[in-house]
Amino acid sequence: MGELHGQGQWAGLQSIVMVYRRCRLDNGTLSEETQVFLSSLAPESQRIGRVIRLHWGIENQLHWALDVTFGEDDSRIRKGHGPENMTLLKRMDISTLNQETTSKRSIRQKAKLTAMRPDYMLKVLTSALQTSTL
């Protein structure tokens, strides 16, 4: 890798990756996006590609869960740190609900059940504490 302005600020930097995506949306418009990643991985395109796809698969799954379970896309919270704070709390909720594994219900169903049954809420919170690394 050649010289990069401010390279000393990026300890362990091994590669810079640019990903270009182009797809046609459901409404027929063309979407184009370019992303640049700084990575500590060796410049092996196959491996870096897998890591990027894995990251976005997880990220997309989380955003889907946030929207379906908590109506994230319809949120009217717009001021100050409100949006970030609410998203953080919702992500914590999803993580906590995922740690309760005795029920095969969806995250959305588990969230509703915790609101209706205090005993189930206690079970969810207890599961989260048992698997916590605190």
* Residue 65 and residue 35 in one domain: no
User: What does the mean pLDDT of the chain come to?
Assistant: 83
Does residue 2 lie in a domain region? Answer: no
Residue 90 has pLDDT above 70, yes or no: yes
Beta bridge partners of 39: 15
Does residue 66 lie in a domain region? Answer: yes
Rounded-to-integer distance, Cα 7 and Cα 38, Å: 11
Task: Say if pTM beats, i.e. exceeds, 0.75.
Answer: no
Number of folded domains that form the chain: 2
* Residue 122 and residue 57 in one domain: yes
* Residue 33 and residue 80 in one domain: no
In tens, the pLDDT along 16-26 reads 888 898 888 77
Residue with the larger pLDDT of the pair 115 and 56 = 115
* Residue 113 and residue 52 in one domain: yes
Report the pLDDT value the prediction gives residue 113, as an integer from 0 to 100: 93
Give the Cβ contact number of residue 117 at 10 Å: 12
Report the pLDDT value the prediction gives residue 83, as an integer from 0 to 100: 85
Domain containing 39: what range?
13-43
